[in-house]
Structure 1
Amino acid sequence: MTRVLLAEDDAAISEPLARALRREGYDVDIREDGRSALEGGRETPDLLILDLGLPTMDGLEVCRTLRSEGYTVPVLILTARADEVDTVVGLDAGADDYVTKPFRLAELLARARALLRRSPPDLVSAPLVRIDPEARRAFFGAEELQLTAKEFDLLRVLVREQGKVVAREQLMREVWDTAWFGSTKTLDMHVSVLRRKLGDDASDPRFITTVRGVGFRFEAPDEG
């Protein structure tokens, strides 16, 4: 069942909206403050409907935090502030769409359906390794790998480009969102940790090979 997280502290809004969403066939979880909304967002619902004016942590901060941690859950903002500047700030924080209060229920449901129709990212896989970008989970055989956010992103890029050399510049740009200005010690450190978690022998790696002066290549050995 499609899971919708509704973060709204005004029961006069959240309760009828939750009923309408449930009539649409969605499983709805209501959160009444920003910190619990953030926790719920980390549980990767299919959609987050997020009020900006939440107690403990405002909706913008919730959205920014989720995006900075790599969560891709679609976010539909509810705001009582129709000013264009507030709208732009919300979208810059990583929101996918917004509805201003008071809103028409039919419009909000239509926008929610549009966000939910977006196709989730395809699974990325290689022999022995499987990555689910939407759930941000990676598996080595039947065992789930315990990865940090950057380790996950690095492995995702390498597996996606398996068999090809991925330049250091590309990895820095995609994983660290930064230009490469010479030092990539943090990249080397993360590759070293990934190798260890994959059981790679540094002197004879099965998975991640260093191509000197260029970057790294993810090999895909057969299970046997």
Structure 2
Amino acid sequence: MAIVVVGGHSRNIGKTAVAAGLIAHLPQYHWTAFKVTQYGHGFCTANGEPCDCQTDDHTLAFSEERSTTSGTDTARFLAAGAERSIWVRTRVGMLAEAMPRIRKEIAAAEDVIIESNSILQFLKPDLYLTVLDPGTADFKDSARLFLDRADAVLINTAGHSLVPRWSGVSLRLIEGKPQFEITPPDYMTHEVADFVERRLHEVQTGQMRFRGET
């Protein structure tokens, strides 16, 4: 099983497009895709604006996408070729409550791709990619917390300056890590897909070798 996590420091910087792009570029993996959203007090935790993340029971919810044309992020995963696509919504600080169900769904899957930063509190993926947009000043605490764990950095250039607008974030945390430039509308390149495929092959080959040792 391959487990890939795609995170990033803010909304609307290409995280969903990156995950969908990997699903489309690597169809040999039989992806179950997850999008994890945390909400609080009726407002989106990403930028404080009203959204439809909050669940009716104000605790957590799992929604499996059935349509490829509904316009949701999870529909984009299905349209890209995912075998299943699940939206997990939890109140801020309650992701742990959703982990038993998430782990059960992961155990039933062949390969998994998750759009989230906070999932890294509870799960060690084979590969963690973080998307950074220098033109977006907002920087989530969860992205800051796990920045040094990124296996590669995808920089959304989008035609603007590469000088970051965010502050209080040390770029030393990503020094020496593989970095790739991505641009809309695809937010995906063959170089990124090849890197992910190669790294997953290395991880899986290493796991098989370890299991075969006596």
After TM superposition, is the score higher than 0.5? Answer: no
TM-score (norm 2): 0.38
Structure number, greater radius of gyration: 1
Which one has a larger percent helix, Structure 1 or Structure 2? 1
Higher relative contact order (CA 8 A, sep 6+): 2
